[in-house]
């Protein structure tokens, strides 16, 4: 900043100088503003998030989704304290119980208030299993989604912004995309299950394995979408303007690029969460996921498919939990995308 | 460091010599370079402190590329750019960053040149964030000052660009360009995307700011009457070249180059009596592709006063009067007919000056003239 110091008119003095030229009177009718305008300026930061929330509230689906997701999350976190039945406790005498609400249409159904949603063929309580399964499914879903978004956004932004990396990264993306996922999963599980179990214990080990496998195999769509958007953004004039100011790439990306590719990332994140929960279910179904005595929503669902006709509730509840969670996350993503876009927010 | 204030009088703020900006054309599976779009092909000019140089020409002639090249938003192919005595033509972007506060740009499209996700305050503050160590409070104060200077209400600082009209957005862009007290500002068609009623306001604002802050402008426009209003000197571009450069009055009173004459004859004349008597020069044909410019003079394909020599020899820029240069055979002395050997080899592959000893040799410089129709 040698210039500012040596320039004859210092920044303050420049603006203070009386406007010269005949045009000034007509075009710069800057009203004399009092201190109240400064207060407005300072409010800018905090009111922005209030605006986001105000816009988010207008999206009814998003609001409902948010409430449902909060409810499910709290239910899974605090459920074990409210319903103190161990999910893998075998109550063989009370096996194959129907849920209590089946009394409504069948007075002599086998049901008991000690197991309100019924039990499975080994006498495990369905409600307790749903709570325990939800914890795992949600944790796997969120972590795997975040991992996939992280990798996908990173690859997409780097490939889109730096032309030199583009070919390499996108051919790598094509390579991963072309891999047959299921055989790959089988091999990965076979190779890494035991070392990870030994290192982190059976549950944490398998959790890390599943999360990383799902994350590493589902980032490619995001990367492609983000790359395309970044390439389009890079040619926009505001990016050129930032370059003419001298903004380096490491600040250009978080300041101008990422906020403007937020929408596609948000959309693929909501889809990613759904597909992560479903992939985990498929893995558990193939016997590659969590151990058999470790419930997840997907596992409950697949365990129950054999006797679906006799015991529909065993499919219904985990299925409902998965679909409603996924649906609510989709709605939240939709609402958030609108709320974060200042162009839509004003309307 | 050389500063504008310390420059001897008469020393240009910006001095451009033989600026060349070619964009490669790549084709095929291996993206091989098969030619180049000669967007800017040997442009030279000087801009004195406090002066406004108007750069005019029809769309696609390379005006904007000149503007962006002198700020080094592109990596130029060759040539020299001296900003206040410092050569920046070959400087690395990281070293250039420290000089960025001295040169800024106002962009053409105010809808596209402001980040839609940033508030007005953060847009104007970005240059301050990048180049100054001011505190948050000082920055806010400076942003408010700048908004006053360009005639924007301070209370709009927390709003987003989409909430503003085109003219107001352009003011935001101007405030951003002025944030660092630049000495030199490139105005890249700052009024082209605006309503006619707003154009005058923005141009008056630019003039007013120039007077107050001692700015030097490179004013790029295709609007000849607007350039006449704001510019002290005018350079006319055609197909990557400056064909004529002259003080404003001289150029508008007595255009020398046939292209300038044609351009000026296209400006509507408000007086119907004068309009009836006026001779309108209508150019035939299209602008040749800058990827494959014609042999000889660039304008020879459309020139109403074309001579045989124009199709053979490229005219050099000649000073015909003090401060007045023209690149045309009509006005150059005979010396201008000696062709520049470098240009001959790159632009006319079939010219006899090429050694005939390498038949079928396709150097990258020659292929475009053959492969691109």
Cβ(B99)–Cβ(B105) below 8 Å: no
Spatial distance between the Cα atoms of A209 and A190, rounded to a whole number of angstroms: 11
Residue in A29, A33, A245 nearest the CB of B100: A245
Instruction: Name which residue leads in pLDDT, A279 or B10.
Output: A279
Instruction: For residue A12, list chain B residues with Cβ-Cβ distance below 8 A.
Output: 145
Contact between A9 and B213 using a beta-carbon 8 Å cutoff: yes
Per-residue pLDDT reduced to its tens digit, B310-347 = 888 888 888 888 888 898 888 865 444 444 443 433 44
Mutate to test the interface with B, among A18, A34, A238 (most CBs of B within 10 A): A238
Residue B120 has a CB neighbour count (10 Å cut-off) of 27
Question: In which band, very low, low, confident or very high, does the pLDDT at B278 lie, cut at 50, 70 and 90?
Answer: confident
Contact between B151 and A259 using a beta-carbon 8 Å cutoff: no
What value, to the nearest 5°, has the Cα angle with vertex B132 and ends B127 and B135?
110
Instruction: Name which residue leads in pLDDT, B24 or A50.
Output: B24
Contact between B212 and A7 using a beta-carbon 8 Å cutoff: no
Q: What is the mean pLDDT of chain A?
A: 78
- Beta strands B241-247 and B324-326 are antiparallel
Per-residue pLDDT reduced to its tens digit, A301-311 = 878 878 888 88
Instruction: For residue B6, list chain A residues with Cβ-Cβ distance below 8 A.
Output: 6
Give the model's pLDDT for residue B247: 92
Give the model's pLDDT for residue B7: 52
Q: Is the pLDDT of residue A68 over 70?
A: yes
**Percent helix, percent strand, percent coil in chain A, to nearest 5:** 75, 0, 25
B91: part of which helix (H) or strand (E)?
none
**Going by C-beta distance under 8 Å and a sequence separation of 6 or more, which residues neighbour residue B197?**
none
SS3 B87: strand
Give the model's pLDDT for residue A82: 82
Instruction: For residue B218, list chain A residues with Cβ-Cβ distance below 8 A.
Output: none
The partner residues of B32 in beta bridges, in order of sequence, read B27
| Dihedral of the alpha carbons of B125, B128, B130, B133, in degrees to the nearest 10 | -130
Instruction: For residue B146, list chain A residues with Cβ-Cβ distance below 8 A.
Output: 15
Instruction: Name which residue leads in pLDDT, B39 or B369.
Output: B39
Contact between A30 and B213 using a beta-carbon 8 Å cutoff: no
Q: Which of A11-15, A182-186, B259-263 has the lowest mean pLDDT?
A: A11-15
Cβ(A253)–Cβ(A157) below 8 Å: yes
Q: Is the dihedral of CA B78, B80, B81, B86 positive or negative?
A: positive
User: Average pLDDT in the A100-118 region?
Assistant: 76
Residue in A1, A17, A260 nearest the CB of B131: A1
Residue in A12, A41, A237 nearest the CB of B113: A237
**Going by C-beta distance under 8 Å and a sequence separation of 6 or more, which residues neighbour residue B30?**
none
Contact between A241 and B173 using a beta-carbon 8 Å cutoff: yes
Percent of chain A exceeding pLDDT 90 equals 14
Please provide residue B234's backbone torsions phi and psi, each rounded to the nearest 5 degrees.
Answer: -130, 135
Burial of B348 (0-12, 13-18, 19+ CB in 10 A): buried
Per-residue pLDDT reduced to its tens digit, A186-228 = 788 888 888 888 888 877 888 888 888 888 888 999 999 999 9
Give the model's pLDDT for residue B198: 85
Record the pTM. 0.75
Chain B residue nearest residue A263, CA to CA: B117
User: Average pLDDT in the A334-343 region?
Assistant: 82
Q: What is the DSSP string of B282-343?
A: PPPS-PPPTTSPPSSSGGGGT-TT--GGGGTSPPPPEEEETTEEE--TTTS-GGGGS--HHH
Give the model's pLDDT for residue B332: 66
Q: Is the pLDDT of residue B369 over 80?
A: no
Contact between A240 and B113 using a beta-carbon 8 Å cutoff: yes
Per-residue pLDDT reduced to its tens digit, B192-225 = 888 888 888 888 899 999 999 889 999 999 888 8
Per-residue pLDDT reduced to its tens digit, A226-243 = 999 999 998 888 998 998
Indicate the DSSP class of residue B165: -
Residue in A1, A24, A41 nearest the CB of B144: A41
Instruction: Name which residue leads in pLDDT, B171 or A1.
Output: B171
| Dihedral of the alpha carbons of B184, B187, B188, B192, in degrees to the nearest 10 | 180
Spatial distance between the Cα atoms of A243 and A261, rounded to a whole number of angstroms: 19
Instruction: For residue B144, list chain A residues with Cβ-Cβ distance below 8 A.
Output: 37-38, 41
Give the model's pLDDT for residue B8: 59
Residue in B5, B131, B212 nearest the CB of A14: B212
Per-residue pLDDT reduced to its tens digit, B352-361 = 443 443 444 4
Q: Is the pLDDT of residue B349 over 50?
A: no
Chain B closest CA to A274's CA: distance in Å?
28
SS3 B221: strand
Question: In which band, very low, low, confident or very high, does the pLDDT at A40 lie, cut at 50, 70 and 90?
Answer: very low
Mutate to test the interface with A, among B6, B72, B113 (most CBs of A within 10 A): B113
Angle between helices A313-340 and A60-82 (to 10 degrees): 130
Indicate the DSSP class of residue B71: T
Per-residue pLDDT reduced to its tens digit, B87-104 = 988 888 888 888 888 899
**Cα A308 to the chain's mean position, in Å?**
31
Q: What is the ipTM of this complex?
A: 0.77
Per-residue pLDDT reduced to its tens digit, A313-325 = 888 888 888 889 8
Give the model's pLDDT for residue B9: 61
Chain A closest CA to B352's CA: distance in Å?
41
Residue in A23, A40, A341 nearest the CB of B158: A40
Contact between B157 and A31 using a beta-carbon 8 Å cutoff: no
Question: In which band, very low, low, confident or very high, does the pLDDT at A22 lie, cut at 50, 70 and 90?
Answer: very low
Chain B closest CA to A229's CA: distance in Å?
15
Per-residue pLDDT reduced to its tens digit, B20-69 = 999 888 887 777 888 888 888 889 999 999 899 999 988 888 888 999 99
Instruction: For residue A17, list chain B residues with Cβ-Cβ distance below 8 A.
Output: 212
Give the model's pLDDT for residue B10: 67
Question: In which band, very low, low, confident or very high, does the pLDDT at A13 lie, cut at 50, 70 and 90?
Answer: very low
Spatial distance between the Cα atoms of A334 and A267, rounded to a whole number of angstroms: 7
All domains in chain A, ordered by first residue: 59-107+117-345 (1.10.3720.10)
User: Average pLDDT in the B138-161 region?
Assistant: 88
Please provide residue B238's backbone torsions phi and psi, each rounded to the nearest 5 degrees.
Answer: -140, 120
Task: Tell me which residue of A312, A326, A298, A305 sits closest to A129, measured CA to CA.
Answer: A298
Residue in B126, B133, B181 nearest the CB of A247: B126
Q: Is the pLDDT of residue B365 over 80?
A: no
Per-residue pLDDT reduced to its tens digit, B173-186 = 999 998 888 989 99
Residue pairs between chains A and B whose CB atoms are closer than 8 Å = 175
Chain A residue nearest residue B134, CA to CA: A1
Spatial distance between the Cα atoms of A38 and A44, rounded to a whole number of angstroms: 10
Question: In which band, very low, low, confident or very high, does the pLDDT at A19 lie, cut at 50, 70 and 90?
Answer: very low
Give the model's pLDDT for residue B373: 37
Contact between A28 and B201 using a beta-carbon 8 Å cutoff: no
Cβ(B63)–Cβ(B56) below 8 Å: yes
User: Average pLDDT in the A83-105 region?
Assistant: 76
Give the model's pLDDT for residue A223: 92
């Amino acid at each position: 900043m040698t210039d500012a110091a040596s320039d004859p008119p210092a920044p303050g003095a420049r603006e203070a100088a009386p406007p010269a030229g005949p045009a000034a009177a007509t075009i710069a009718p800057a009203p004399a503003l009092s201190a109240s305008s400064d207060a407005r300026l300072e409010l800018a930061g905090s009111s922005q998030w209030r605006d986001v929330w105000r816009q988010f509230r207008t999206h009814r689906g998003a609001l409902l989704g948010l409430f449902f997701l909060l409810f499910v999350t709290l239910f899974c976190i605090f459920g074990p304290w409210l319903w103190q039945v161990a999910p893998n406790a075998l109550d063989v005498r009370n096996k194959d119980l129907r849920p209590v609400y089946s009394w409504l249409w069948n007075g002599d159904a086998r049901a008991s208030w000690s197991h309100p949603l019924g039990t499975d063929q080994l006498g495990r309580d369905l409600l307790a299993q749903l709570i325990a399964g939800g914890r795992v499914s949600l944790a796997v879903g969120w972590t795997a989604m975040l991992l996939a978004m992280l990798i996908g956004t990173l690859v997409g932004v780097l490939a889109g912004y730096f032309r030199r990396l583009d070919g390499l990264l996108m051919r790598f993306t094509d390579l991963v995309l072309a891999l047959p996922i299921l055989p790959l999963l089988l091999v990965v599980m076979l190779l890494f299950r035991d070392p990870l179990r030994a290192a982190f214990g059976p549950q944490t080990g398998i959790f890390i394995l599943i999360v990383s496998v799902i994350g590493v195999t589902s980032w490619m769509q995001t990367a492609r979408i983000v790359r395309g958007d970044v390439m389009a953004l890079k040619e926009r004039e505001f990016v050129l303007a930032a370059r003419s100011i001298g903004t380096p790439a490491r600040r250009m990306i978080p300041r101008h690029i990422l906020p403007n590719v937020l929408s596609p990332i948000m959309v693929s994140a909501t889809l990613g969460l759904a597909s992560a929960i479903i992939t985990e279910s498929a893995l558990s179904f193939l016997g590659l996921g969590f151990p058999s005595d470790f419930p997840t929503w997907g596992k409950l669902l697949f365990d129950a498919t054999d006797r679906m006709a006799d015991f529909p509730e065993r499919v219904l509840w985990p299925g409902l939990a998965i679909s409603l969670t996924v649906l609510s996350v989709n709605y939240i993503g939709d609402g958030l995308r609108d709320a974060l876009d200042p162009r839509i927010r004003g309307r | 460091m050389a500063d504008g204030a310390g420059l001897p009088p008469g020393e240009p703020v910006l001095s451009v010599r033989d600026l060349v900006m070619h964009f490669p054309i790549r084709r095929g599976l291996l993206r091989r370079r098969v030619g180049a779009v000669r967007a800017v092909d040997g442009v030279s000019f000087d801009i004195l402190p406090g002066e406004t140089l108007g750069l005019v020409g029809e769309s696609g002639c390379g005006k904007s590329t000149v503007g962006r090249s002198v700020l080094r938003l592109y990596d130029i192919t060759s040539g020299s750019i001296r900003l206040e005595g410092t050569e920046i033509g070959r400087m690395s972007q990281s070293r250039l960053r420290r000089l960025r506060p001295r040169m800024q740009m106002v962009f053409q499209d105010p809808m596209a040149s402001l980040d839609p996700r940033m508030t007005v305050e953060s847009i104007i503050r970005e240059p301050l964030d990048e180049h100054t160590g001011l505190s948050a409070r000082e920055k806010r104060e400076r942003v408010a000052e700048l908004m006053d200077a360009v005639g924007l209400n301070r209370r709009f600082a927390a709003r987003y660009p989409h909430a503003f009209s085109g003219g107001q957005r352009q003011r935001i862009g101007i405030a951003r360009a002025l944030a660092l007290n630049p000495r030199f500002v490139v105005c890249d068609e700052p009024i082209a995307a605006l309503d006619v009623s707003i154009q005058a306001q923005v141009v008056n604002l630019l003039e007013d700011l120039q007077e107050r802050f001692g700015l030097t402008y490179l004013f790029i426009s295709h609007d000849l009457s607007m350039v006449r209003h704001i510019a002290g000197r005018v350079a006319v571009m055609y197909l990557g070249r400056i064909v004529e450069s002259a003080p404003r009055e001289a150029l508008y009173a007595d255009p020398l180059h046939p292209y300038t004459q044609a351009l000026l004859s296209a400006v509507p004349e408000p007086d119907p009596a004068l309009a009836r008597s006026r001779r309108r020069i209508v150019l035939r044909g299209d602008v040749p592709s800058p990827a494959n410019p014609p042999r000889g003079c660039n304008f020879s394909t459309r020139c109403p006063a074309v001579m045989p020599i124009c199709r053979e020899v490229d005219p050099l820029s000649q000073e015909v009067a003090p401060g007045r240069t023209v690149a045309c055979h009509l006005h150059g002395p005979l010396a201008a007919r000696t062709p520049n050997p470098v240009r001959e080899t790159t632009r006319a592959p079939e010219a006899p000056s090429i050694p005939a000893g390498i038949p079928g040799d396709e150097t990258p410089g020659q292929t475009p003239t053959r492969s691109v129709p």
